[in-house]
Chain A
C-alpha cells in the first residue's frame, strides 16, 4: 500500500526478507539505502557535543540536582507544615490534607477559566480552600473532639473520598495543568546552570512563607497562643484561651498552605484527583522523618526528602524513591518521634 505525503517505502518489493532478518539480529542486508531518504531537521554538530569537557558538566549536574531537591522540598513543605501543625495543635491526623492540596489546583483551574489571571488564582484558590477547611473543622471535626482519635481519623478519610468524587464530578477525570504566568516564563542561567524561573519562584515563595510562619509562631501573640495550645490544651483553656477558635484557625491555615502549594505545583506538573493519596504518602514520609507536630521538622524533613530523591537518582536511578522510605523506616526504628520531634510518640 503506497502512502501519501511523500511516501517512501523503505523496503522495495524485493526487500522484505531483509527487514525480517533485522528482527533476528542477523545484520542489515537490503537497508543500506535508508540513510539518504527524507527530511533532516536541525542537524547536530557532533564535534561540538563531543568536545565538551565532563568536569564542568558534573558540577552543573550537581547544582541542578540540588535545585531540583529544593524545588521538591518546597512543594512537600507547604503540604507537610500544615499537616504537622494541625497534628501538633489539634492531635488530628488530617488524612484529607492531600485532597485539599489537589483541590487548590482544581479551584485555580476554574478561576483561571473565569479571569485568566494566574496571580489572582494563586491568592484566591487557597483562600477558597481555606474557607472549605474552616467549614470542615467547624461542621465535621468539632463534634468529634470528645471521641476516640480513630473516629476523627476515619472522618478525615471519609472527607478524602467525598472530595475525590466532588472533584471528579465537577471537573472531570482529565489531568489538570495550570498555565505558567508570562512573568515566570523563561530560565535563569547561572554559570551554565539553566534553571526555570517558575521553579525558582516556587522555592523562594515556600521559603518566604516558612520564614513568615516561623516569625508568626515565635514572635506574635496569636503564635504564642497556638504554641500554648500545642503544649497543653487544658492549661491554655483554663487561662481563658478560646481553644476551639485556635483549632479552627490552625486548620484553616493548614488548608490555605496546602492549597497554595497545590497551585504552585499545578503550574509545574499535571495532576489529577487520585494523586491526593500520593501527596499524602510523601507528606507523611516528610513529617515522620522531621517529627510529627514539629514545625521545624516539616522544613527539615522536606529538605532531606527533596535532596534524597534528587541525588538518589545518581545512585539508583530507577529506585530513587526508595531512599525516602528507607530514611523513614530508619527514623522510625532509631528515633520514632522524628528528627526534631519532642516527647514520646
Chain B
C-alpha cells in the first residue's frame, strides 16, 4: 500500500477553472507517513482511507492531463529517519510550487513516496515497485549509500532516471557509473577534497576516524585523509580507528579506545541518529576537549535540531553541503525565498537534503521541458551538462559522470542565541567546485579499471 498524493494545480492561478482545483496534498507532510505505515498493517482501515485519495486522483485526471509521476525514495524509518522526512519535505515543497507554476509540460506533478528503511534490499524493492506498479516517470532521493549502490543496478532494466539527492558514495558515479543515475548532491570525493583543503590549515598532526563500516564511511575518510596526507606529509594517520556498524547506538567504547590513541583530530562520517549519539557521547566523555572533530554530515541540521546547545563550538563541517544562512554570492535572494517558503511550509529551516531534493524536482522540470518529454532517453540527454540552479548555489551536471559540480564551504560551529538550535556554522571558506572534483580523465580511468581508489590503504581493519 503506498501513499499517493496528487498535488493540485495552482488554486491561486486566476485562469484555473473550478475543475482544475484538485485537493492539495493534505497528508504529505507530518502525518502522511505515519498514516501510510499504519495502513500497511490494517487492511480494513486501508480500504476506507484509500478511497478518498483514489477520488482525488480521478478528479485530477479528469481535470488535467495525465500527471507526471515522481517516485521519491528516502529512509523514513530507522536511525536516519529525519533524512527521509526532509527528502520527502523538499520534494513536496518543489512539487507544490511547480504545480502552482503550471506543472511540468503542462501536466501536474504527483509524488509517490516510499520508505527504504536504510536497507539495500528494501530500497531495491521499492524502486521496482515505483516503476513497475506506479509507472513513475522519474525517481529522486535515496539517503543511504548502500541503498543507492543497490538501486543503481536496477536502473537499466527499469529504464528510469534516478536523480540522487543525498547519498554521497563516489563509487556510484565513478567505478559503478551507469547513465541512468544523476546526482545533484556533492559526492564523497568532493566533500573529502574540500574538507582536506580546509583541514590543512590547522596544525593537527595525529589523525584518526570514526565512521560506519560501509561505502559512505570508507569513501568519506579515504578521500579526506589521502588528500590531507598529500597536502601535509607531516601528519600521522593512526592505526587505531573506529568502524562501528551503521545504526549501532553505543559508541562509548569506541570513543574510549580512540581517545587512548591520543589523536589531535578525528574525522567522523557518522550521520543521522548515529551522529546524534556520537556527539552526545563524545561530549559526556569530554572527548572533544582537546580533540578536533571534522565531519560533513555530523552537523547537518537534523543533528543540530536534536542536540542544540549540546553541540560544542569549534566543530568543523560543511553541513553536508548546504548551510541555509550562507548562499553563494549572487544567490542571496533565491536562497532567502526558498528558506522562507520552506519554513512557512514545515516550520523548520531546510536541511541540506531537503535543499538538494527540492532542486532535483526543478532540475527534472527544466530537463523534461527542454526535451519536450519525460521519456528516459531524452531526459538523460537533457540532464547531461544541465546548469542547475540550487537556491544556495549554482552548479552543473557533468556530462561524463553525471555528478553535480558546485562550490562548497566548510566552517566551524559557534554559539547562536538567535537560532532555535543555538548553533551556527561560521568562518566559512568556499572551495571552487572544479578544484574539488576529480578530473574527467581520472574518473574515466577508474571507471575502466574498476579499481578501488588508492585511499583504501588508509582504512585500518574495516
Q: Give A residues with C-beta under 8 Å from B.
A: 1-11, 15-16, 19-20, 22-25, 27-28, 31, 34-44, 46, 49, 52, 57-58, 60-61, 64-65, 68-69, 71-72, 161, 165, 168-169, 172-175, 177, 180, 187, 194-196, 198-199, 268-275, 278, 309-310, 313-314, 317-318, 320-321
A177 B432 Cβ-Cβ under 8 A:
no
Please measure, in the bound complex, the distance between the C-alpha atom of A26 and the C-alpha atom of B5, giving whole angstroms. Answer: 52
A44 to B207, CA, bound (A): 13
**Residue B14 at the A interface, CB < 8 A?**
no
Quick one: which of A1, A194, A321 has the most chain B CB within 10 A?
Answer: A1
Residues facing A in B197-213 (CB within 8 A) are: 197-198, 200-206, 213
Chain A residues contacting B290 (CB-CB under 8 Å) are 42, 44
Is B3 located at the chain interface by the 8 A CB criterion? no
Do B273 and A270 touch (CB < 8 A)?
yes
Tell me the minimal C-beta distance from A148 to chain B in angstroms.
Answer: 24
Contact in complex: B407, A1 (CB < 8 Å):
yes
Q: A23-B438, A196-B284, A318-B461 are in contact. Are A270 and B256 (CB under 8 A)?
A: no
Q: Are B249 and A275 in contact (CB under 8 A)?
A: yes
Contact A274 B202 (CB under 8 A): no
Q: Are A165 and B435 in contact (CB under 8 A)?
A: no
Q: A46-B264, A61-B260 are in contact. Are A175 and B82 (CB under 8 A)?
A: yes
Instruction: Give residues of chain B (248-294) contacting chain A, Cβ–Cβ below 8 Å.
Output: 248-250, 252-254, 256-257, 260, 262, 264, 272-273, 276-277, 280-281, 284-286, 290, 292
Q: Which residues in window 216-253 of B have CB below 8 A to A?
A: 226-227, 230-233, 241-245, 248-250, 252-253
Closest to A58 in B: B260
Known: A16-B434, A27-B230, A173-B77. A38 touches B277 (CB 8 A): no
Nearest-neighbor residue (CB-CB) of A320 within chain B: B253
Give the Cβ gap from A75 to chain B, nearest Cβ, in Å: 9
**Whole-angstrom CA separation of A272 from B77 in the bound complex:** 9
Known: A41-B412, A175-B273, A318-B462. A61 touches B257 (CB 8 A): yes
Compute the total of residue contacts between A and B using a CB distance below 8 Å: 234
> Whole-angstrom distance from the CB of B59 to the nearest CB of chain A?
28
B85 CB contacts on chain A under 8 angstroms: 173-174
CB <8 Å contact, A20 and B438: yes
Q: Report chain B residues within 8 Å CB of A43.
A: 203
Tell whether, in the assembled complex, residue A23 and residue B38 are in contact, meaning their CB atoms are under 8 Å apart. no
Q: How far is the CB of B331 from chain A (nearest CB, A)?
A: 10
- Segment from B158-166, B365-373, B422-430 that makes contact with A: B422-430
CA distance in complex: A46, B37 (Å): 53
Contact B431 A10 (CB under 8 A): yes
Name the A residues within 8 Å of B273 (CB-CB): 175, 270-272
Q: Taking A271-B273, A272-B273 as given, write out 16 further A-B residue pairs in contact, using a Cβ cutoff of 8 Å, ordered by the A residue number.
A: A1-B430, A8-B430, A9-B431, A11-B435, A19-B193, A19-B436, A20-B439, A23-B438, A40-B201, A40-B202, A41-B412, A44-B264, A49-B262, A65-B256, A168-B33, A187-B284
CA of A10 to CA of B442, assembled, Å? 21
Which residues of A are found within 8 Å of B427, using beta-carbon distances?
A: 5-6, 38-39
Write the B375-390 contact mask toward A (1 if CB under 8 angstroms, else 0): 0000000000000000
**Chain B residues with CB under 8 A of A273:** 77
Shortest beta-carbon distance from A79 to chain B in Å: 13
A40 touches B203 (CB 8 A): yes
Docked-complex contact A321 and B245, CB < 8 angstroms: yes
- Cβ A199 vs Cβ B409 within 8 A: no
Q: Given A65-B256, A177-B276, is A3 in contact with B328 using a C-beta cutoff of 8 Å?
A: yes
18 cross-chain CB contacts under 8 A: A2-B430, A5-B409, A5-B430, A6-B428, A9-B431, A16-B435, A19-B436, A25-B226, A68-B252, A161-B41, A173-B84, A175-B306, A177-B307, A199-B252, A271-B273, A310-B253, A318-B462, A320-B253
For the complex formed, measure the closest distance between the CB of B198 and the CB atoms of chain A, giving whole angstroms. Answer: 8
Pair A6/B81 contact, Cβ less than 8 Å:
no
Nearest first, the 5 closest Cβ-Cβ pairs linking A and B are A3-B430, A173-B81, A196-B284, A61-B260, A175-B273
Give, as a whole number of angstroms, the nearest-CB distance from A165 to chain B.
5
Q: B184 interface residue, CB < 8 Å from A?
A: no
Measured CB to CB, the nearest residue on chain B to A313 is B253
Once the chains bind, are A313 and B254 in contact (CB under 8 Å)? yes
